[in-house]
């Protein structure tokens, strides 16, 4: 009897367990499609579990991410001045995030696809917030620096400066016997190490942000809506550089120490803005964005319905993926000609266009004599506005007219040729006044008149002669005395390296200096390059617009040319390849190129510091010719993409629906004929 009760009880438990199993499975599955986490869950949040809402949030998060890296790009020249960093070292710092991408992108993107992808994206945003904090630390450790503080009124209160025009007291910036010290403290490489570590950490965050996020977005939306989704998220992401450059412009208008009063203006090449200030704001924004992105479900309800309805027998279950499966995916990608050719074309395009992504503000500063604030604002507003327009227009055209894969590939190599033509125009848009001024600036440095002066380690403090020639410093001009005119402007006198000056008695407040006839005004000689700057901006806006029109089509080809199961891995693997072959070597190569055309270095005790004056004409020709050649060669691979893209279905979902409708129409047309024929057979 007892045994019968035990068996009955067991049977009832098993039966109950059988009843509860589907309910538990249903509950488990529903948790994968519900928004929020921990106590932040409920029907209120669930209504946001849509593909459109994720696209908006993912696009805004991408905007903030792009804002962070754009802020770094816009502050490069200021950091070079502050920490005496050559451009080739800046390029090396820049590739830190790409080096980490090499080691993390393929593996993280593959294994992130098996988990909660929105939370992987959120983790990436948190890591990028850590990158921002690390970029901020050198300022708190080292402060504004003596080179910047000595150009403030507060520094003058502690270091008494005799402003009398008759003063004969020697100054470090003036010509005197060789007994001065070199620039100390500049040989500290710790700021460079901190910047590199920050970039390395940021690369890991980018790996977790892009590949899982793009594949999640593509899986969550119907393929017919993917172009519009990509355009929207790309548009939102492109607001990031505009916002980043705007923040840079505002921060660089403030002096590096906002609590002190500078003696120079933003037009002075020695001006250092508050490069560190924007990192605080960006860190907070990224952390907030991470919370919102992490609330999205593991899988969208609509995407899950499509997945369950579709036949996925050939796909490998996410939970059972292994390293061997990843190798199999890699073999499939290697045999995919469209994927390989598109990657080769992108490698050469990215390599050639990289200096314009990283060094555009610097290029504008040195070529057209614009301030750091103006350069970053122009790059981040006008140019990126045209980029955003290009993305939106291309997304609308693709969504409305649904071009074939071949048409998209054809447009990609048209974009390449237009880009080559625009870059060649950059060579012609030079400022002759700036070229001439830079070449004249170095002529007096080797003159025997300043050979007895101790100018080797003098700070870069340009002065302008009456002949409109800029000297590196008053020391290099052979000046022996310093004073002020009636307007409070600094005047250097006794400048024996200058020619005879014309009619000095007409200068106000210089009657006591008129007899000396050799004077110099503080600051570089004025150069007007505004006309050439406007022409350059017009060409750059055109290139930004054209290049942006090819982004959506190129990304669609990359997503559609591979099987669904390899989508996330293909994005991660391509990111790794781009890092190894493009994003790492290109900034270093062009950084060395910029340094090779440097005319005046800020020399320090142990090594050369940052560059102050470039051979702008030679640099303009060399850099633009190299960039145009690389992109031109890459265009031939896009022709290969066009040839092999004939079988790719970009809008396969709509084509299937249309084909089904056609089959139904044919069936309805043929059905009456069959009935008549059957009736004839049955009733002879």
Rounded-to-5 percentages of helix, strand, coil across the chain: 70, 5, 25
Q: If 0-12 CB within 10 Å is exposed, 13-18 middle and 19+ buried, where does residue 383 land?
A: buried
- pLDDT value at residue 177: 58
CA distance linking residue 62 with residue 445, whole number of Å? 48
Question: Which two tokens mark 557?
Answer: 């080809």
Contact 569, 326 (CB under 8 A): yes
Please identify which residue in the block is written with the tokens 């710092």: 93
- Name 529's Cβ contacts closer than 8 Å, sequence gap at least 6: 367, 368, 369, 370, 431, 433, 434
- pLDDT value at residue 511: 37
Residue 603 is inside which H or E element, if any? strand 598-603
- pLDDT value at residue 646: 82
pLDDT tens digits for range 362-405: 899 888 988 877 888 887 777 777 888 888 888 888 888 888 88
Listed residue (522, 449, 601) closest to 173, CA to CA: 522
Torsion of CA 59, 409, 544, 254, to 10 degrees: 40
Q: Between these two residues, 622 and 454, which has the higher pLDDT value?
A: 622
pLDDT tens digits for range 455-485: 776 777 788 888 778 888 888 788 888 887 7
CA distance linking residue 346 with residue 342, whole number of Å? 6
Q: Where residue 129 falls among pLDDT bands split at 50, 70, 90? A: very high
Q: Between these two residues, 658 and 108, which has the higher pLDDT value?
A: 108
- pLDDT value at residue 510: 39
Question: Which two tokens mark 264?
Answer: 């120079």
pLDDT tens digits for range 316-364: 444 455 567 778 888 888 888 889 998 999 999 999 998 888 888 889 9
In DSSP terms, 482 is beta-bridged to 492
Question: Which two tokens mark 570?
Answer: 């293909």
CA distance linking residue 513 with residue 495, whole number of Å? 11
| Statement: the pTM of the whole predicted model exceeds 0.75 | no
- pLDDT value at residue 423: 94
User: For the chain, what is the mean pLDDT?
Assistant: 76
Residue 40 pLDDT greater than 50, yes or no: yes
CA distance linking residue 553 with residue 15, whole number of Å? 55
Listed residue (460, 424, 425) closest to 441, CA to CA: 460
Residue 675 pLDDT greater than 70, yes or no: no
C-alpha dist (Å) from residue 678 to 150, 549, 663, 672, 674: 104, 58, 22, 10, 6
Residue 130 pLDDT greater than 90, yes or no: yes
- Neighbouring CB atoms inside 10 A of 636's CB total 14
C-alpha dist (Å) from residue 621 to 350, 421, 435, 528, 618: 19, 14, 12, 21, 5
Residue 288 pLDDT greater than 80, yes or no: yes
DSSP secondary structure string, 299-318? S-HHHHHHHHHS--TTSPPG
CA distance linking residue 212 with residue 205, whole number of Å? 12
pLDDT tens digits for range 258-276: 888 888 888 777 888 899 9
DSSP secondary structure string, 437-485? HHHHHTGGGG-GGGTTS--TT-----EE-TTS-EES-TTTTT--EEEE-
C-alpha dist (Å) from residue 661 to 403, 441, 653, 669: 21, 76, 13, 12
Q: Which fold has domain 45-303+321-431+529-647?
A: Growth Hormone; Chain: A; (1.20.1250)
Question: Which two tokens mark 504?
Answer: 């000095």
pLDDT tens digits for range 224-269: 666 677 777 777 877 888 888 889 888 988 999 888 888 888 877 7
Q: If 0-12 CB within 10 Å is exposed, 13-18 middle and 19+ buried, where does residue 211 land?
A: buried
CA-CA-CA-CA torsion sign (243, 245, 249, 252): positive
- Neighbouring CB atoms inside 10 A of 608's CB total 14
Residue ranges per structural domain of the chain: 45-303+321-431+529-647, 437-522
pLDDT tens digits for range 581-609: 898 888 889 988 988 888 887 766 656 66
- pLDDT value at residue 316: 46
Listed residue (334, 436, 382) closest to 545, CA to CA: 382
CA distance linking residue 470 with residue 440, whole number of Å? 7
What letter would DSSP give residue 318?
G
In DSSP terms, 40 is beta-bridged to 37
C-alpha dist (Å) from residue 303 to 289, 306, 320: 23, 5, 21
CA distance linking residue 264 with residue 267, whole number of Å? 8
pLDDT tens digits for range 176-232: 655 555 555 445 688 999 999 999 999 888 888 887 887 787 777 666 666 677 777
Q: If 0-12 CB within 10 Å is exposed, 13-18 middle and 19+ buried, where does residue 322 land?
A: exposed
């Amino acid at each position: 009897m007892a045994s019968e009760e035990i068996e009955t009880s067991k049977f009832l438990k098993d039966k109950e367990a059988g009843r509860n199993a589907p309910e538990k499975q249903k509950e488990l599955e529903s948790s994968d499609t519900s928004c929020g986490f921990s106590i932040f869950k409920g029907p209120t949040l669930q209504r946001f579990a849509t593909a459109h809402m994720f696209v908006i949030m993912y696009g805004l998060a991408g905007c903030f991410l792009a804002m962070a890296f754009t802020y770094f790009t816009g502050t490069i020249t200021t950091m070079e001045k502050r920490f005496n960093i050559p451009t080739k070292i800046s390029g090396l710092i820049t590739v830190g995030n790409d080096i980490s991408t090499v080691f993390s992108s393929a593996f993280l993107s593959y294994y992130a696809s098996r988990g909660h992808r929105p939370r992987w994206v959120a983790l990436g945003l948190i890591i990028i917030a850590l990158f921002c904090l690390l970029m901020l630390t050198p300022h708190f450790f080292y402060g504004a620096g003596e080179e910047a503080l000595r150009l403030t009124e507060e520094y003058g209160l502690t270091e008494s400066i005799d402003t009398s025009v008759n003063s004969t007291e020697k100054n470090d910036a003036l010509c005197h016997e060789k007994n001065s010290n070199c620039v100390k403290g500049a040989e500290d490489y710790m700021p460079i190490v901190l910047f590199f570590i920050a970039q390395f950490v940021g690369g890991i965050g980018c790996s977790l942000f892009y590949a899982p996020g793009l594949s999640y977005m593509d899986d969550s939306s119907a393929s017919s809506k993917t172009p519009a989704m990509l355009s929207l998220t790309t548009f939102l992401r492109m607001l990031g550089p505009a916002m980043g450059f705007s923040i840079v412009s505002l921060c660089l208008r403030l002096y590096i120490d906002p609590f002190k009063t500078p003696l120079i203006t933003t037009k002075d090449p020695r001006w250092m803005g508050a490069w560190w200030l924007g990192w605080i704001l960006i860190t907070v924004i990224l952390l907030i964005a991470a919370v919102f992105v992490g609330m999205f479900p593991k899988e969208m309800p609509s995407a899950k319905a499509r997945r369950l309805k579709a036949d996925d027998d050939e796909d490998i279950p996410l939970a059972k993926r292994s390293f061997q499966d990843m190798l199999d995916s890699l073999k499939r990608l290697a045999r995919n000609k469209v994927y390989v050719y598109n990657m080769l074309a992108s490698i050469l395009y990215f390599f050639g266009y990289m200096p314009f992504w990283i060094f555009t503000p610097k290029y504008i500063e040195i070529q057209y004599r614009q301030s750091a604030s103006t350069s970053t604002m122009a790059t981040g507003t006008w140019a990126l506005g045209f980029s955003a327009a290009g993305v939106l227009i291309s997304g609308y055209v693709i969504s409305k007219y649904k071009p074939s894969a071949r048409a998209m590939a054809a447009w990609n190599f048209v974009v390449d040729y237009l880009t080559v033509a625009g870059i060649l125009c950059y060579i012609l848009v030079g400022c002759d006044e700036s070229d001439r001024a830079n070449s004249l600036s170095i002529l007096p440095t080797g003159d025997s008149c300043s050979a007895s002066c101790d100018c080797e380690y003098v700070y870069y403090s340009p002065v302008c002669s009456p002949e409109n020639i800029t000297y590196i410093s008053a020391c290099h001009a052979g000046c022996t005395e310093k004073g002020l005119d009636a307007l409070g402007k600094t005047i250097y006198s006794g400048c024996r390296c200058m020619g005879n000056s014309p009619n000095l008695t007409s200068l106000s407040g210089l009657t006591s200096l008129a007899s000396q006839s050799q004077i110099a005004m503080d600051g570089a000689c004025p150069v007007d390059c505004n006309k050439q700057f406007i022409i350059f901006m017009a060409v750059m806006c055109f290139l930004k617009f054209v290049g942006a029109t090819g982004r959506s089509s190129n990304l669609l080809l990359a997503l559609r040319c591979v099987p669904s199961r390899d989508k996330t891995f293909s994005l991660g693997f391509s990111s790794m390849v781009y890092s190894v072959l493009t994003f790492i070597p290109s900034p270093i190569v062009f950084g060395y190129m910029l340094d090779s055309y440097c005319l005046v270095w800020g020399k320090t005790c142990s090594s050369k510091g940052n560059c102050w004056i470039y051979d702008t004409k030679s640099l303009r020709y060399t850099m633009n010719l190299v960039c145009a050649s690389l992109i031109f060669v890459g265009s031939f691979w896009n022709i290969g993409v066009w040839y092999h893209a004939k079988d790719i279905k970009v809008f396969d979902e709509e084509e299937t629906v249309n084909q089904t409708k056609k089959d139904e129409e044919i069936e309805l047309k043929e059905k009456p004929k069959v009935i008549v024929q059957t009736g004839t057979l049955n009733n002879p």
